[in-house]
Amino acid sequence: MRHVWVARLACCYAAHVSDRHPAEPAPDDGVLDLLGILAYASLTAFFRLCDDAALAISLADKAALAEMAVAEFGHFQLLRTRIEEMAADPTAVMQPFVAAVDAFHARTAPSDWLEGLVKAYVGDGIAADFYSAVAQVLDPATKDLVLKVLADTGHAEFVIARVRAAIEADPRVAGRLALWARRLVGEALGQAQRVAAERPPLARMLAGDAASQLGDIGRMFAQLTDAHAARMAALGLAE
Amino acid sequence: MRHVWVARLACCYAAHVSDRHPAEPAPDDGVLDLLGILAYASLTAFFRLCDDAALAISLADKAALAEMAVAEFGHFQLLRTRIEEMAADPTAVMQPFVAAVDAFHARTAPSDWLEGLVKAYVGDGIAADFYSAVAQVLDPATKDLVLKVLADTGHAEFVIARVRAAIEADPRVAGRLALWARRLVGEALGQAQRVAAERPPLARMLAGDAASQLGDIGRMFAQLTDAHAARMAALGLAE
């Protein structure tokens, strides 16, 4: 599974960087695109986590998921401030990514509390890995911001205990949640392909310079998938 | 309208303090009750504001209402920490108020974005006034906390511009929203009466000592309603 989607995504980015000259500087609209999609993804994650928290039975779990939601809103605020510092309008910068991010959530609405937990954990984890990976190709100011956002993740640890307890109580849960996690990754990839197709400057910026682009993208997605596999293992789920 | 509900609430509290000896110290469970209802009300306000923000059309408005939601969650965190410091279990302390707070929100689900805005503004304002008023009867540590929470309100100012613009565009909106605001206050009072009936220690604590209880309660609610009237005027609504 993992190598298939690494290859799919690497090809998809490569298709959009083939027209790029090696000496061309990273265009600003690539950076704004990145800030725009991260900002809108954070804002949306905030709302979806709020919705998913409503599925919790205990007040303590409800509050724990709400805390993850609030952390996402903090990310949104940092990203929005950076967009404004770049003299751009946050709404305009986010707009191109509304359809893809909304489509992802529409196709991955959790049907119960456990699915909500797994989505929060997997999503938070992939987002953190992605932030860490893209930080390497950014200008110093944007890089600082992305690393700051990254340092504020890690609220998802309480999920591990909850999911493991649920699997212990009913081992059949593991199979269902493993399938769910795969579906989440699949849907995220589908929307990532769409974004890459629609926003060549973003695809180009993430690809780095032409000589190393395939290697860099490959490495980035290999790291993402290794970390994803580690998270699945932590939850007690087969990848 | 205003004097009717001041009187109703004052009577309702007075009925529950009549058996109290003047020298009796404020019981701790009154303080825990207060922290419990404020904590659960803040947590619930967080979720309801998230829901209401989803009704916004523009991303900027969505983010502005989300910011109010996040402030409510901050209040919840402060209150929960204080409950834990008092060696109590936050869930147990909040539980007695779940039914009343949930009933309030079930009966006041906004049917559109403007109703959501007015609810956010009126609710935020009444909460701030209430915090300010009850701070006077609390022990120093709880008072400090309540004033700290209070200092963090005031995110609702953007509402004024939105509601006034809507009324300018269609003056009939003013009548509908004024009725809506009255309904919000009425439902809040109904649930406050229920809480006072169910939790005599809380009613007693808020009433202060027997000699001054009616005057204190009357003054407190007169201040609350004056401030409510000022907010209605700021929105361009008849009280």
The top-scoring range by mean pLDDT among A1-10, A174-183, A221-230 is: A174-183
Q: With 70 as the cut, is the pLDDT of residue A215 above it?
A: no
Please tell me the predicted confidence (pLDDT) of residue A147. Answer: 82
Q: Average pLDDT, stretch B99-116?
A: 93
B interface test, pick of A58, A70, A79, A83 with most B CB neighbours within 10 Å: A70
Taking the CA of residue B15 and the nearest CA in chain A, the distance in Å comes to 32
CA of A57: which chain B residue's CA is closest? Answer: B91
CB contact under 8 Å between A46 and B66, yes or no, is yes
Please tell me the distance from the alpha carbon of residue B58 to that of residue A91, in angstroms, as a whole number. Answer: 8
Place of tokens 């469970």: B29
CB contact under 8 Å between A73 and B66, yes or no, is yes
Which carries the bigger pLDDT value, residue B41 or residue A203? B41
ipTM: 0.75
Q: With 80 as the cut, is the pLDDT of residue B212 above it?
A: no
Question: Which region among A173-177, B128-132, B137-141 has the lowest average model confidence (pLDDT)?
Answer: B128-132
Taking the CA of residue B96 and the nearest CA in chain A, the distance in Å comes to 13
Of the pLDDT bands very low, low, confident and very high (cuts 50, 70, 90), residue B87 is: very high
Of the pLDDT bands very low, low, confident and very high (cuts 50, 70, 90), residue A195 is: confident
The angle subtended at Cα A88 by Cα A138 and Cα A66, nearest 5°, is 75
Angle between helices B28-53 and B98-107 (to 10 degrees): 30
DSSP string, B141-168: HHHHHHHHHHHT--TTHHHHHHHHHHHH
Which residue among B47, B62, B76 sits closest to A50, beta carbon to beta carbon?
B47
pLDDT digits (tens, 9 = 90+) for A111-130: 999 999 999 888 888 877 77
CB contact under 8 Å between B91 and A47, yes or no, is no
Q: With 50 as the cut, is the pLDDT of residue A94 above it?
A: yes
Please tell me the distance from the alpha carbon of residue B162 to that of residue B148, in angstroms, as a whole number. Answer: 28
- Mean pLDDT of the residues in chain A: 80
Q: With 90 as the cut, is the pLDDT of residue B39 above it?
A: yes
Of the pLDDT bands very low, low, confident and very high (cuts 50, 70, 90), residue B50 is: very high
Give yes or no for a contact between A38 and A72, defined as CB atoms under 8 angstroms apart.
no
Which residue among B51, B73, B94 sits closest to A59, beta carbon to beta carbon?
B94
Ordered alpha helix ranges (H), chain A: 2-15, 28-53, 59-85, 90-94, 98-107, 113-134, 140-151, 157-169, 172-198, 200-207, 213-235
Q: Average pLDDT, stretch A100-113?
A: 92
Please tell me the distance from the alpha carbon of residue B48 to that of residue B96, in angstroms, as a whole number. Answer: 19
Q: With 70 as the cut, is the pLDDT of residue B150 above it?
A: yes
CB contact under 8 Å between B80 and A63, yes or no, is yes
Question: Which region among B42-56, B96-110, B161-175, B188-202 has the lowest average model confidence (pLDDT)?
Answer: B188-202
- Residues of chain B that touch chain A, judged by Cβ-Cβ distance less than 8 Å: 40, 43, 46-47, 50-51, 53-54, 58-60, 62-63, 66-67, 69-70, 73-74, 76-77, 80, 90-91, 94-95, 98
Q: Average pLDDT, stretch A68-75?
A: 91
CB contact under 8 Å between B58 and A91, yes or no, is yes
CA of B94: which chain A residue's CA is closest? Answer: A59
Q: With 80 as the cut, is the pLDDT of residue A85 above it?
A: yes
CB contact under 8 Å between A63 and B76, yes or no, is yes
Which carries the bigger pLDDT value, residue A24 or residue B156? B156
DSSP string, A62-95: HHHHHHHHHHHHHHHHHHHHHHHHTT--HHHHHG
Which residue among B50, B95, B98 sits closest to A50, beta carbon to beta carbon?
B50
CB contact under 8 Å between B60 and A90, yes or no, is yes
- Residues of chain A that touch chain B, judged by Cβ-Cβ distance less than 8 Å: 40, 43, 46-47, 50-51, 53-54, 58-60, 62-63, 66-67, 69-70, 73-74, 76-77, 80, 90-91, 94-95, 98
- From residue B203, give the alpha-carbon distance in Å to each of A80, B29, B30: 45, 11, 8
Considering only CB atoms, which chain B residues are within 8 Å of A116? none
Considering only CB atoms, which chain A residues are within 8 Å of B67? 73, 77
pLDDT digits (tens, 9 = 90+) for B167-195: 999 999 999 999 999 899 888 888 888 88
Q: Average pLDDT, stretch A18-38?
A: 64
Give yes or no for a contact between A25 and A208, defined as CB atoms under 8 angstroms apart.
no
Considering only CB atoms, which chain A residues are within 8 Å of B98? 59
Question: Which region among A164-168, A207-211, B206-210 has the lowest average model confidence (pLDDT)?
Answer: A207-211
Please tell me the predicted confidence (pLDDT) of residue B122. Answer: 86
CB contact under 8 Å between B47 and A63, yes or no, is no
Considering only CB atoms, which chain B residues are within 8 Å of A50? 46-47, 50-51, 69
Of the pLDDT bands very low, low, confident and very high (cuts 50, 70, 90), residue B217 is: low
Which residue among A60, A80, A95 sits closest to B91, beta carbon to beta carbon?
A60
